[in-house]
Structure 1
Amino acid sequence: MLEFEQMKSELTSYDDTMKEVLTSLDIEGKKNKIQEMEREMEAPDFWNDAEKATAKTTELKSLKDDVAVADSLQQKYEDIETFIEMDAEEDGDDEAMLEEAKEEFEEFKKDLENLRLKTLLSGKYDHNNAIVTLHAGAGGTEAMDWTQMLFRMYSKWADKHGFGLELLDEVEGDEAGLQSVTFQINGENAYGYLKSEKGVHRLVRISPFNANGKRQTSFSNADVMPELKDAPDIEIKDEDIRVDTYRSSGAGGQHINKTSSAIRITHFPTGIVVTCQNERSQHMNKDKAMEMLRAKLELLREQEQEQRDADIRGDVSSISWGNQIRSYVFQPYTMVKDLRTGEETSNVDGVMDGDLDPFMNSYLKWVS
């Protein structure tokens, strides 16, 4: 059948890509690592250090998932080859078999592309959890509403991927929305994907807060950093920081606003400010805020190594015109467009409901 001949030719064209992806993922090395880790876990004292043991089991699951996906990909390739061989032997006109082969081939191509994208997540901290801070920019109440809409968008994205979300800090708007919000998304490669969201997001719509029904442009800035539990070589001197306590201002539990448990840390040498208010105690808020400060300082150090002549702190210069990474137009037409990669869609509702993968994937290809 002609369709099978075409399929055979197309399947062969993926040989080099498949080989490169599997080599890059070091599947054989991961299989050996799995065996080594499973032997370690059999030790009677393995669970003596619960935090270390949990990290090991998480790593083991990730390795096993990679191997399973790679094995499934190879199995799909062999299954498609079998369909092609059966057609050649029977020299028949089996439409049912052709449809089954087509479905298997589409799944193969999708799986291969997902694995290829995973090879692009090779950054030092790409596998870490991510901490995201959204700040309302130009646009007043409209910008604060936009910031809350973005928070919902990332929450939906996390849900779609089965990732956990932990609210760390929020400052509500005077009339509506959020002045700022900080949250952590926990899941494999969370930072690797979410680093694509760092920058200014621009909204164009007819504002519900404008009595004249005029179209309005507003902005919100996203700052993204990896969760770094251990950054021992980042020294933070006591004289370089100021620690302020204040009452929590967001919507919280029964103890909200009753004690000054929220923490704000200002780092004088860099001007970096971090806040945390949603942990259970002032001590826990301070620990989390210090963790966030170390992560920011580590990213700053890495950026300085890569481009020593650049003004690193100028990355987020102003949350207004000319600095946006992505534009979201609700009226007079619908369009979401990434200004770096050119990726775009007219399905605004889908994007706001967390369908961000095409934008994140195109970013990974763009930076590679």
Structure 2
Amino acid sequence: MFQKLDDVVKKHEELNQLLMTEEVISNPTKLMEYNKALASINEIVEKYKEYQEIKGEYETLKEDLKSEKEHELKEMMLEEISELEEKIPHLEEELKILLLPKDPNDEKNVIVEIRAAAGGDEAALFAADVFRMYTRYAERSKYKVEIIDKNETGINGLKEITFLIKGNGAYSRLKYESGVHRVQRVPDTESSGRIHTSTITVAVLPELEDIAQVEINQSDLKIDTYRSSGAGGQHVNTTDSAVRITHKPTGIVVTSQDGRSQLKNKEAAMKVLASKLYEMELEAQRSSVESERKSQVGMGDRSEKIRTYNFPQGRITDHRIKLTLHKLETYLDGDLDEMIDALIAYNQAELLKNVGDEI
């Protein structure tokens, strides 16, 4: 581990020197590239320096203790040594986590798809609740939300909705949300008070800044235009501005109708298509490496039941990490950080098991 950390410090010094050269200063592309590389390792270098200072202080105190004669001073030194002995393992654990391989998509925006599944109108109403939950979380996190496409029901529900969440690190926080979300509650239309179980599916994709990252043959696309419509099929406008793109080799269909023009909707739909194809490739790579697959907490598997929202008991349970929170009301209002932090910590622990020997 310490050899790796020394290598990171060396790289940090080299990047700082390169950033002061005329060649880099006069080249905006290189300047941006090196600054980004520097920013990606700043936290590791700072934490390693903190570790070295504390470890140095610890070694000095142990050495001084050998020659100290005064009882009171020895007691104080022993107390400080004890405190540092507690700190050092925690810092070493933090350094191990910082050295874990980074997901290259973590800093990206995310495309989220929510679809009502089993449960009819109740599933559509829950889909609308979960969409609101993510928009409230985005507001709390200073992210922005842009709707790409939505299909509403006549009872304020959502059959499906696709939207973009824009913000630094959005994917790193929301990537664990992919899967089946289950709700248990008494629907407003249920006169007998019987609890119904309904499900929705959530898919979270990293947004590709450049769709050229994915090879898409135009001859593989079937592009249709149609009139945008709202709930109940009422026409929103009188032009064929909505766009539907079918990728014939995979059968993937994407639509966009919330943009102001056909061009904007086509751009948005192509971005969703590229992100889906990119995710398919990532999933194929993950599946081919068993150890990496074990380190995931259900990311990308849309058939996996990941979470239950139980209204009668006011609780949310994540089945992957066996965590239950009794704060359903605030959770649905976007207070997701406790659950997300727990999922990240679990995933890091699993990764450490797999790469611990290498580190």
TM-score, normalised relative to structure 2: 0.71
Q: Which of the numbers 264, 269, 272 marks the counterpart of 2:252?
A: 272
Q: Please tell me whether the aligned partners of residues 141 and 176 of structure 1 are also in contact (alpha carbons under 8 angstroms).
A: no
1:236 match = 216
C-alpha displacement at 1:289, in angstroms? 1.1
**2:309 is the counterpart of 1:325:** no
Q: Rate the CA distance shift 1:340–1:205 in 2: closer, same or farther, 3 A.
A: same
Describe how 1:95-174 pairs up with structure 2 within 5 A: 109=90, 117=97, 119-120=99-100, 122-174=102-154
How many angstroms does 1:42 deviate by? 2.7
Deviation at 1:307, TM superposition (A): 4.7
CA distance in 2, matches of 1:20, 1:329: 49
Matches within 5 A, 1:243-258: 243-249=223-229, 257=237
Please say if 1:75 is aligned against 2:37.
no
CA distance in 2, matches of 1:337, 1:21: 38
For the pair shown, the structure with the greater C-alpha radius of gyration is 2
Within a 5 Å distance, the mapping from 1:1-368 to structure 2 comes to 19=2, 22=5, 26-33=8-15, 35-37=17-19, 39=21, 42-43=25-26, 46=28, 57=32, 60=35, 63-64=38-39, 66-68=41-43, 70-72=45-47, 74-75=49-50, 78=53, 85=61, 90-91=73-74, 109=90, 117=97, 119-120=99-100, 122-232=102-212, 234-249=214-229, 257=237, 259-304=239-284, 307=287, 316=302, 323-331=304-312, 333-352=313-332, 353-355=335-337, 356-366=340-350
CA–CA separation in structure 1 for the residues paired with 2:113 and 2:248: 20
TM superposition shift of 1:93: 6.8
In 1: Cα distance, 2:4 partner to 2:327 partner: 31
Deviation of residue 135 (structure 1)? 0.7
Shift of residue 180 of structure 1?
1.6
Corresponding residue SS for 2:210: coil
Q: Deviations over 1:285-334 (max 9, x none)?
A: 211211221221232234345558xxxxx9656xxxxx412222222x24
Spell out, residue by residue over 1:60-83, the C-alpha distance to the aligned partner (whole angstroms, 9 max, x if none): 367436414641564377359759
1:344 Cα offset (Å)? 3.3
Question: What is the CA RMSD across the aligned residues, in angstroms?
Answer: 4.1
Aligned-residue sequence identity (percent) comes to 33
TM-score, normalised to structure 1, is 0.69
Task: Report the Cα distance in structure 2 between the residues aligned to 1:249 and 1:77, rounded to whole angstroms.
Answer: 62
Distance 1:160 1:31 in 2: 36
**8 Å contact kept, 1:172–1:249:** no
